[in-house]
Amino acid sequence: MLKLRALLFAAGFYPVTMIYAIPCLLLGPLLPFRARFRFLTAINYFYIGWLRVTCGVKTQVEGLHHLPKDQPYVALANHQSEWETLYFQLVFRPQSVVLKRELLKIPLFGWALALLNPIALDRSQRREALKQLLRQGSERLEQGIPVLIFPQGTRVAVGKPGRFNKGGAMLAVKQGVPIVPVVHNAGHCWPGKSFVKYPGTVTLVIGEPIQTAGRSVDEVHQEVEAWMLDQMARIGA
């Protein structure tokens, strides 16, 4: 039954994605970034609604009011699933997400994704990737665009915290902007690289902004990591 429900989700997800990508590719380049972001990510409302209808995956959000409304910020979140790549575009609006460069090569989907001005890194070149993150991340923040980073670098299974990289803290300290820490437990409902989705409620927790002005990278990184690990334990992530 679970495989059948996942198949039904895929039967809606992929055709709709391919169809919607066409107007995105045609009209997206003509729009200013913020309008382009709203237009290209409107399909995500369908994704999340279709996921709930077909697979029974619901969402509960805590702390949405913590998102700064009058300044850019760096959002740092744990990474467990494909779910957050869809849902986060409805939370952090607009955003520039840090991702693997290979994703932009996927026909239609990757081409449309490139129009959202992500920071696409070649993770095989770690030193150059960090320089690119700091350079392009600074540009996005100076344009007033929040930057979303998954400091674990890759999807990590539920119950395994993984290693948190300092790149996000370095960027935030460099630009003097706050960090918004974010955790979720989507891996219970949509495990990484799993075709099957499990019914349940994903809990998303958005923490209070952590100020970075006048603080060291290590101090900020430790505070963010401690908060994330504590909240991950609380919600069973």
Q: What are the pLDDT digits (tens) for 52-97?
A: 999 999 999 999 999 999 999 999 999 999 999 999 999 999 999 9
Taking the C-alpha atoms of residue 184 and residue 58, their distance in angstroms, rounded to an integer, is 13
CATH for the stretch 2-235: 3.40.1130
For range 15-28, the mean pLDDT: 94
Instruction: Please count the CA atoms within 13 angstroms of the CA of 207 that sit on its side-chain side.
Output: 25
Taking the C-alpha atoms of residue 105 and residue 102, their distance in angstroms, rounded to an integer, is 6
Instruction: Please compute Rg for the chain using Cα positions.
Output: 17
pLDDT for the residue numbered 218:
97
Spans of all domains in the chain: 2-235
Residues 6+ apart with CB under 8 A from 15: none
Q: 188 vs 28, 143, 235, CA distance in Å?
A: 34, 36, 11
Q: Is the pLDDT of residue 127 over 90?
A: no
pLDDT for the residue numbered 81:
95
Taking the C-alpha atoms of residue 24 and residue 7, their distance in angstroms, rounded to an integer, is 25
**36-75 per-residue burial string, b: 16 or more CB within 10 A, e: under 16:** bbebbbebeeebbebbeebbebebeeeeeeebeeeebbbb
Kindly state the percentage of the chain with pLDDT values over 90.
90
pLDDT for the residue numbered 161:
87
pLDDT for the residue numbered 116:
96
pLDDT for the residue numbered 118:
97
Q: Is the pLDDT of residue 125 over 90?
A: no
Q: What are the pLDDT digits (tens) for 178-229?
A: 999 999 999 999 999 899 999 999 999 999 999 999 999 999 999 999 999 9
pLDDT for the residue numbered 174:
97
Helix (H, G, I), strand (E, B) or coil at 201: strand
Q: Is the pLDDT of residue 3 over 90?
A: yes
Whether residue 189 contacts residue 84, with contact meaning beta carbons closer than 8 Å, is answered with no
